[in-house]
Amino acid sequence: MRNDKLSVQSMDFAVQIINLVKDLKSKKENIISNQIGRSGTSIGANIREAQYAHGNADFIAKLQIALKEANETGYWLELLFKTNYINDVTYKLLDSECTSIRVMLISSINTVKKNQNK
């Protein structure tokens, strides 16, 4: 179990997404719930993969995939909110968590790139 902030936050977010998917499925919503379930849990999986990357290029590539998945998850959250599957409070909470992960990913990617060029 990893204890760095990005790993912990992405795992916590994945748990929240899985709980959201359970709720959506109980409401008979299957299309978006499947999509957000995949993208929302993929963020942490790619962060975990990056920890055993084969060099900086592979590390950056894994984090960039996680960033793309986080961006996609943000899209699904907005769509769920606009279609009234989630309320304002849930949307703002999950969107804020997702945005925080994106910011950390961008920072991590930029740090590795900067250190690579030294």
Query: Which CATH number covers residue 53?
Result: 1.20.1440.60
What is the rounded distance in angstroms from the CA atom of residue 48 to the CA atom of residue 27?
A: 32
How many independent structural domains does the chain possess?
A: 1
Identify the pLDDT of residue 115.
Answer: 86
Cα 15 from Cα 57, distance rounded (Å): 29
pLDDT in the model for residue 118: 66
pLDDT score, position 2? 61
What value does the mean pLDDT take over residues 41-65?
A: 95
Question: Residues 56-63: what's their mean pLDDT?
Answer: 95
Look up the domain containing 105 and give its range.
5-116
Angle at 67 between CA 74 and CA 59, to 5 degrees: 165
pTM of the full predicted structure? 0.93
Contact 73, 43 (CB under 8 A): yes
Whether the pLDDT of residue 51 is over 70: the answer is yes
- How many other C-beta atoms can be found within 10 angstroms of the C-beta atom of residue 97? 20
Q: What is the mean pLDDT of residues 73-100?
A: 97
